[in-house]
Chain A
Amino acid sequence: MRFLRRATSARDQGTAAQQRAASHQDRALVVRLLARDEAAFVSLVRTEHESLVRLALVFVRNRATAEEVAQDTWSGVLAGLAGFEGRSSLRAWIFQICSNHAMRRSAREARSTPFSALGGPDEPAVDAGRFEADGHWAHPPHAWRADTPEQILERAEAVACIGRVLDELPPAQRAVVLLRDVEGLDAAEACSVLQVSEANQRVLLHRGTLEGPPGAREASWRRVKRC
């Protein structure tokens, strides 16, 4: 199912032709699933299950509960599949079901912190100490040898490091980066899944992509090159 993911340029919204093609692939996949095609289900689960667990972890306390939410999500997907109308991508629809399950579970656990409060401190995206008083770099980025994503991803330790960096982000930032950059949802889909405004989503994406975890004031993704 990796072909469904957006992979042309950083956060492009895709061409209309690409979106139509994705929609066609979604419909074809739904038809296979409704025909009880096990291979299609296995492939979809292998691609999305961990992301569902990660999304659920934004709302619930521990991985065991998040795993239960993810498994319940699949039951919800199967129960509702015949009614999938294609108004969003299939992936966005699945994540919507997951966030609904996770929010309900969170409410039952009395963890009712507003999503917007999970975004982390409202500070500049890059540590002010990296700039001179005139706003120019005091500690500029060092040239990165990796020119392509493939050069990063061919190193297993770098892939593991990306996972760790993602897990260390404040929850709301992690959710937005997960949906936008890992899963390739567009801004409107991510807003719908997380029930946040477009402006809030953009702030969370900005901080999630540039900001390090709390206490480590350095752009987190830049840490990957040191892994």
Chain B
Amino acid sequence: MLTCRQMTELVTDYLEGRLSWKDRFRFQLHLGTCRHCREYVREMKVAVRALGRLPPVEIPPATMDALMERFRSW
């Protein structure tokens, strides 16, 4: 049976789909019995997905102008 600490060391491989079937089974078995680890993994998934949806950062007009100049002279 995995401990919570071991779970945190495996969570990236779990999210990456890199665990063997045996370790994945042990991981999921642990999640089934530990609400704290379920919460931990849920937060990780939400945070990772939020990272992929960050809005673009506004580019200073002078930078954009310089890049457009490069584009137009390309």
Contacts and interface: CB of A to CB of B under 8 A. Distances in A.
Contacts of B6: 135
A125 B9 contact: yes
Contacts of A162: 50-51, 54
Interface residues of B, number: 44
A118 interface: no
A149 B5 contact: no
Does more than half of chain A's interface fall in helix, strand or loop, or is it mixed? helix
Nearest to A124: B9
Given A45-B64, A131-B5, A182 B52 contact: yes
A210 B11 contact: yes
A49 B43 CA distance: 28
Contact of A187 (B16, B55, B67, B74): B16
Given A74-B67, A159-B55, A210-B11, A137 B50 contact: no
Contacts of A9: 45, 49
Given A135-B4, A222-B43, 20 more contacts: A5-B52, A13-B17, A41-B71, A50-B56, A67-B63, A71-B67, A125-B9, A137-B4, A141-B40, A149-B49, A149-B52, A162-B54, A181-B51, A182-B54, A206-B11, A209-B12, A210-B11, A221-B43, A221-B44, A222-B47
